[in-house]
């Protein structure tokens, strides 16, 4: 324990002795993680948007003729037993007519002369959240078709496929860019710490000479790296939140809210923790890398 405090004090003293290099390392981590946090924020909110939109995903199944009460009950209870189905609503021809009438508004006189039950009876089937994918829709449609109860099925699968492809691209871009950023940050941090090692090479040489163990020599630098990374992570989090409050919530909000989303989210606590831990790990690994090359003992 005393040993631990001693090593920590040594790390802090090292940092105090080269404030410029120290802030360079912290700054690098901060910038890299800030960009990452921004991306995470975008991905998070687009995902939220998807979840929001996908509530509207439904399959409409049309009966060939108006079902009898018994047949309808049978179909309804069967469908409700399917795992991918969240809910089913029956729309009678009359209800369909009323809806259509309302939607036409001023043009409602177009319907004049038509019988009030000219629209087919239908079921509106909402999907469970997990099934709200193009594959889920395709599966449900297949099942409905093979049941033979319906004459026609309508679903927005094509739209869904496109949207899923877009999400996949976004996610891949985020991962690639994030990986690249992390790698660049790691490289810069490693080199910054190498500079601090270089600045104290006389001390390192003497340490090894008078019998300091490798652990004793390296630990303060590892602690220093981890601390710098952790501080960088915290700053990125604070900066990210600041930017979020200042700009994102309004600008990104204006963009996304127009699509029906009621609120833009900041990173949830686990993501925040991951961000800070990533910074810490980044600093630690950067130290480890530069130590491996410089201290030959």
Partner 1 sequence: MIQAFNLSKQYRKDSAALRDVTLKIAKGEFVYITGPSGAGKSTLLKLLYADERPTRGQILVDGQNLTRMNARRIAMVRRRLGVVFQDFKLINSRTVFENVAFPLEVQGKKRYEVSNRVYQVLKHVGIEHKMKRYPLELSGGEQQRVAIARALIIDPMILIADEPTGNLDPDNTREVMELFKGANARGTTVLIATHDRNMIERFPRRLLALDQGRLVEDRMP
Which residues of the chain form contacts with partner 1 (CB under 8 A)?
Answer: 3, 6, 17, 200, 202-203, 205-216, 297
CB atoms within 10 A of CB 220: 20
CB of 207 vs partner 1, minimal distance in Å: 6
* CB-count exposure of residue 293 (10 Å: 0-12, 13-18, 19+): exposed
CB of 211 vs partner 1, minimal distance in Å: 4
CB of 128 vs partner 1, minimal distance in Å: 59
Q: Which is nearer to partner 1, 211 or 269 (CB)?
A: 211
Q: Which is nearer to partner 1, 71 or 293 (CB)?
A: 293
CB of 23 vs partner 1, minimal distance in Å: 19
**Which residues does 48 contact at the CB level (< 8 Å), separation at least 6?**
261, 265
Q: Which is nearer to partner 1, 52 or 200 (CB)?
A: 200
CB of 202 vs partner 1, minimal distance in Å: 6
Q: Which is nearer to partner 1, 94 or 293 (CB)?
A: 293
Q: Which is nearer to partner 1, 13 or 162 (CB)?
A: 13
Q: Which is nearer to partner 1, 105 or 211 (CB)?
A: 211
CB of 215 vs partner 1, minimal distance in Å: 8
């Amino acid at each position: 324990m005393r040993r631990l405090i001693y090593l920590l004090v040594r790390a802090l003293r090292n940092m105090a002795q080269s404030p410029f290099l120290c802030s360079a390392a912290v700054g690098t981590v901060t910038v890299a993680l800030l960009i990452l946090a921004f991306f995470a924020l975008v991905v998070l909110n687009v995902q939220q948007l998807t979840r929001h939109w996908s509530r509207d995903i439904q399959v409409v199944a049309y009966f060939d003729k108006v079902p009898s009460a018994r047949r309808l009950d049978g179909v309804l209870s069967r469908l409700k037993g399917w795992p991918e189905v969240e809910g089913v609503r029956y729309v009678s021809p009359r209800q369909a007519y009323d809806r259509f009438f309302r939607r036409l508004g001023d043009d409602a006189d177009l319907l004049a002369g038509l019988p009030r039950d000219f629209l087919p009876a239908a079921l509106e089937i909402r999907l469970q959240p997990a099934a709200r994918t193009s594959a889920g829709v395709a599966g449900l449609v297949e099942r409905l078709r093979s049941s033979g109860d319906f004459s026609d099925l309508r679903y927005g699968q094509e739209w869904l496929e496109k949207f899923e492809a877009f999400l996949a691209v976004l996610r891949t871009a985020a991962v690639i860019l994030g990986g690249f950023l992390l790698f660049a940050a790691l490289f810069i941090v490693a080199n910054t710490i190498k500079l601090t090692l270089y600045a104290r090479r006389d001390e390192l040489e003497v340490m090894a000479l008078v019998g300091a163990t490798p652990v004793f020599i390296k630990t303060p630098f590892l602690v220093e790296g981890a601390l710098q990374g952790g501080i960088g992570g915290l700053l990125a989090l604070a900066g990210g939140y600041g930017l979020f409050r200042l700009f994102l919530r309004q600008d990104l909000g204006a963009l996304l809210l127009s699509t029906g989303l009621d609120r833009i989210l900041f990173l949830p606590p686990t993501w925040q923790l991951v961000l800070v831990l990533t910074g810490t790990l980044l600093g630690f690994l950067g130290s480890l890398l530069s130590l491996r090359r410089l201290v030959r003992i």
